[in-house]
Amino acid sequence: MNMIQALNSAMDILLTQNPDVVMFGEDSGYFGGVFNATDKLQAKHGAHRVFDTPINEAAIAAMAIGMAAKGLKPVAEIQFSDYIFPAFDQIVSEMSRIRYRSAGQFTSGCVLRSPWGGGIRGGQTHSMSPEAFFTHIPGVKVAIPSNPYDAKGMLIAAAEGNDPVIFFEPKRIYNGPFDGVPDAPLKSWAKHPKGEVPEGHYRVELGKAEVTREGSACTVVTYGTLVHVAEHAAEKSGIDAEIIDLKSLSPYDIDTIAASVNKTGRAIVAHEAPRTSGFGAELAAQIQEDCFYALEAPVLRLTGWDTPYPHAHEWAYFPIQSRFIRAMEAVTKAV
């Protein structure tokens, strides 16, 4: 399966197994979503379970909160993560705090899925990686899968949990992994081991990272599309980097990160989002705190620039393979 098929399969299973699951979003119903993630789900499960919404992200989030208060399990879609900001108040002030402010009398367990990240010539409003806005909110979980197997298992785990989850989907790798070379031919998931996806129900628990490539020279902590870029950079450069796919950003798996950095002594944190106050800053600070005596070089941040996401110069902005190699060289040579 590709990632879209895996997500579709997850949603089909959720709808089949739990009558309280409902799905909605802009173009998510009859049309099946602009990326086909909800393809055929309305026809199979009914328009009262998978339906179209008005173009109003705040309303989508608020609807999810109200439905969750009544015991439904909404799995809603925000068409692009760039357009999640109209829902920001409902997420920050409401969804994230309902359990806390009501001392557990009400909960708001729901999932907001949203296509995320760059690498698709999306320009400023179809390329953003707004995860750091959300990891700064106590009370919401943030998850970003990097492959079809995880996408399905994590979406099921997110929807079966009792906390609100912001579930970002790297749209650059919906149809195949990306090795970080802009003009390289497209690959499919068919030949990737994580493209093998069981048909049935399974969960990939949130909060756990995975070492996707073992190495000894340095640790690269990343998530989403860049997991693949980092892996290819390690192979191409011959630098024996250990790659950690974080998968969950809030909460994140400090144990896996610390074990790796304590072993390698060197760390790169990498994301597409801008550097300043990006999630990499949190990772770098925590690595410094937990692994200070093991570190042999400063923690290096490999990120998008502190600019809006550009259209024409996308590949000067995006942390492509060559930038990963340079960063790996820099962090391993640093004394």
Partner 1 sequence: MSNTNARFHVPTAPFRPGETPDFSNLDLQKAGDAPRPDPGIDAGETASLATGLVGVLDHNHQAVGEWDPKLKADLLREGLSHMVLTRIYDERMLKLQRQGKMSFYMKSTGEEAVAVAAAMALDKSDMVFPSYRQQGILFARGRNIVDMMCHCISNSRDNLKGRQLPVHYTWAEGNFFTISGNLGTQFPQAVGYAMACAYKGEDQVAASWIGDGTTAEGDFHSALTLASTYRAPVILNVVNNQWAISTYQGIAKGDAPTFAAKGLGYGLASLRVDGNDFLAVYAATRWARERATAGKGATLIELFTYRAAAHSTSDDPSKYRPKNEETAWPLGDPIERLKQHLIGIGEWDEDRHEKLEEEMTKLVVKSYKDAESYGTLHDGPLAPTESIFEDVTETPDWRLRRQRQELGI
Residue 319: is the preceding peptide bond cis (ω within 30°)?
Answer: no
Residue 101 interacting with partner 1 (CB under 8 A): yes
The closest of 208, 147, 165 to 74, measured between CA atoms, is: 165
Two tokens, residue 154: 């994590």
What residues numbered 11-40 form the site for partner 1, per CB under 8 A? 22
| CA 143 to each of CA 208, 245, 327: distance values in angstroms, whole numbers, following the listed order | 10, 11, 25
Applying CB under 8 A, the span of 1-9, 31-39, 61-69, 170-178 interacting with partner 1 comes to: 61-69
Residue 75 interacting with partner 1 (CB under 8 A): no
What distance in Å separates the CA atoms of residue 266 and residue 296, rounded to the nearest whole number?
Answer: 6
* CB neighbours of residue 259 within 10 Å: 16
Token pair 């399969």 is at which residue? 9
Residue 93 interacting with partner 1 (CB under 8 A): yes
Query: Among residues 123, 161, 308, 310, which is the contact residue for partner 1, using CB under 8 A?
Result: 161
User: Please, what is the Cα angle at 46 between 40 and 50, to 5 degrees?
Assistant: 70
Known catalytic residue: 126?
A: yes
* CB neighbours of residue 106 within 10 Å: 12
Site string (260-289) toward partner 1, x via CB under 8 A: ------------------------------
Applying CB under 8 A, the span of 136-144, 171-179, 214-222, 237-245 interacting with partner 1 comes to: 136-144
Residue 298 interacting with partner 1 (CB under 8 A): no
Shortest distance, position 130 Cβ to partner 1, whole Å? 19
Catalytic residue from among 126, 228, 232, 271: 126
Applying CB under 8 A, the span of 176-184, 221-229, 250-258, 310-318 interacting with partner 1 comes to: 250-258
Residue 138 interacting with partner 1 (CB under 8 A): yes
Exposure of 272 in the CB half-sphere (CA atoms within 13 A): 30
* CB neighbours of residue 227 within 10 Å: 30
| CA 154 to each of CA 3, 65, 146, 177, 269: distance values in angstroms, whole numbers, following the listed order | 12, 21, 10, 18, 22
Residue 86 interacting with partner 1 (CB under 8 A): yes
Residue 106 interacting with partner 1 (CB under 8 A): yes
The residue (of 181 and 259) whose beta carbon lies closer to partner 1 is: 259
Q: Which residues bind partner 1 (CB under 8 A)?
A: 22, 48, 53-54, 56, 58-59, 62-67, 69-72, 86, 89-90, 93-94, 97-107, 138-139, 141, 161-163, 207, 251, 254-255
Q: Which residues carry out catalysis?
A: 126
